[in-house]
């Protein structure tokens, strides 16, 4: 038995032997490639070009949880108040993350400091008056951004040239505050 059929790829109409008519998915011409078009596509909850995917939060709303606030300059960190006084946890975090450069005594003479003397900026001596006179918020900002001299470029979207990592990408906000508590307890100051 032999059946002859026709199929219109633009409309999806199929006809077999003149007796059987039905619809198949349409494949309209779309340049060099054919794209299958579903008739139910207009019911999907997608967004059109240049349309935002959701509404913005109301003006003045405050998120309960969410991302950490990022400041535009180191000066904006000055008035932050330490949220952690966990010196023991801060000491452990300092030992793991900071001691290799800043040293056990926080004087900038860690094992990596000898290499950095010839190949880049040396680690800061955290016992100097510059650090002692910094507020806890400033210390938090410097830890978050990767050092004093590159902080403003990082906060404005630039790349840090500092060998110190941006700990905001590595440690939680609570962990960085714990490090501040440890440093402040070890060196004194404000």
Per-residue model confidence (pLDDT) at position 17:
75
Same domain, 16 and 81: no
Per-residue model confidence (pLDDT) at position 75:
67
What CA–CA distances, in Å, run from 11 to 19, 37, 38, 44, 135?
A: 19, 10, 11, 21, 72
Per-residue model confidence (pLDDT) at position 91:
93
Residue 179 maps to which CATH number?
Answer: 1.10.760.10
Per-residue model confidence (pLDDT) at position 36:
55
Same domain, 23 and 79: no
Per-residue model confidence (pLDDT) at position 190:
66
Per-residue model confidence (pLDDT) at position 80:
67
Per-residue model confidence (pLDDT) at position 163:
80
Residue that the structure tokens 């050092």 belong to = 147
pTM, two decimal places: 0.58
Per-residue model confidence (pLDDT) at position 141:
84
Same domain, 31 and 104: no
What are the CB-based long-range contacts (under 8 Å, 24+) for 23-31? none
* Number of domains present in the structure of the chain: 2
Same domain, 155 and 102: yes
Per-residue model confidence (pLDDT) at position 104:
92
Which residues have CB under 8 Å from 106's CB, separation 6+? 125, 126, 127, 183, 186, 187
Same domain, 80 and 35: no
Give the domain extent around 134. 74-187
- Residues in the chain predicted with pLDDT less than 70, given as ranges, are 1-3, 7, 9-10, 25-58, 63-84, 149-150, 152-155, 160, 190
């Amino acid at each position: 038995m032999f059946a002859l059929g026709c199929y219109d790829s633009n409309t999806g109409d199929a006809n077999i032997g003149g007796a059987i008519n039905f619809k198949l998915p349409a494949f309209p011409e779309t340049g060099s490639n054919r794209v299958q078009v579903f008739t139910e596509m207009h019911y999907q909850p997608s967004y059109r070009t240049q349309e935002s995917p959701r509404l913005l939060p109301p003006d003045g709303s405050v998120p309960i949880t969410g991302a950490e606030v990022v400041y535009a300059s180191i000066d904006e960190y000055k008035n932050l108040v330490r949220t952690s006084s966990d010196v023991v946890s801060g000491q452990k975090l300092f030992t793991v993350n900071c001691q290799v450069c800043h040293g056990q005594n926080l004087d900038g003479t860690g094992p990596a400091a000898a290499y950095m003397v010839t190949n880049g900026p040396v680690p800061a001596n955290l016992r100097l008056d510059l650090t002692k006179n910094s507020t806890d918020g400033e210390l938090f900002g410097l830890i978050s951004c990767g050092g004093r001299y590159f902080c403003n470029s990082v906060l404005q979207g630039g790349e840090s040239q500092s060998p110190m990592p941006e700990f905001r990408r590595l440690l939680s906000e609570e962990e960085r505050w714990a490090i501040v508590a440890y440093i402040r307890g070890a060196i004194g100051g404000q």
